Amino acid sequence: MKCSDRKCYVFYTYPKFERKVHECLLKDGFDSFLPMHWIVRQWSDRKKKLLVPMFPNYIFANIEYSHIWEILKNSKVICCVKFNNQPSFLKQKEIDNIVKIINNDYLFEISCNLSIGDSVIINGGALTGMKGVLVEERGKKRFALRIESLKQSIIVNVPSEYLECKDRVHIL
């Protein structure tokens, strides 16, 4: 999905309606982006592989500002996400980074709140050049890619030899 003169606005949906909203937006001629990934859910009697949204309850639409109201007419869309009373949108670099992570089958999880850590850049593998924060969770060193537009992070398992430390940063 390319964002040129339009912006990739962020919308919040009712739980479990991301796909339906995505399909409806596509049907109505809007350029919609719904990053998905595979997870394994385990019940007491079985395991099942499921394709789920990367960011639950979020959908992205590459539109002009004036079309926000048309999308809000969908009964399954709760609101356009705002920060500082302005509609939030993804930058093209953030979209490219999300697509890279999905396309390269990295293990990841989404995190909304991270601790202070080291600023790092990946210097090897398919994610070379990505900047983020080094976090430690459950005894493992991991890479956190901050998606500023959403105020969320993607936590990726990256071999430590691919990480080059920069400086200390604060994550709010």
Per-residue pLDDT tens over the stretch 3-16: 457 999 999 999 99
DSSP 3-state percent helix, strand, coil across the chain (nearest 5): 20, 45, 35
Asked whether the CA dihedral 69, 73, 76, 79 is positive or negative, the reply is positive
> What domains are there in the chain, each with its CATH number?
7-90 (3.30.70.940), 99-169 (no CATH)
Q: Which residue has the higher pLDDT, 41 or 23?
A: 23
Helix boundaries (H) for the chain: 18-27, 68-72, 92-103
Average pLDDT, the chain: 82
Share of the chain above pLDDT 70, in %: 80
Using one digit for the tens of pLDDT, what is the confidence trace for 37-53?
A: 888 888 788 889 989 99
Enter the pTM of the model. 0.69
What sign has the CA pseudo-torsion 93, 25, 76, 71? positive
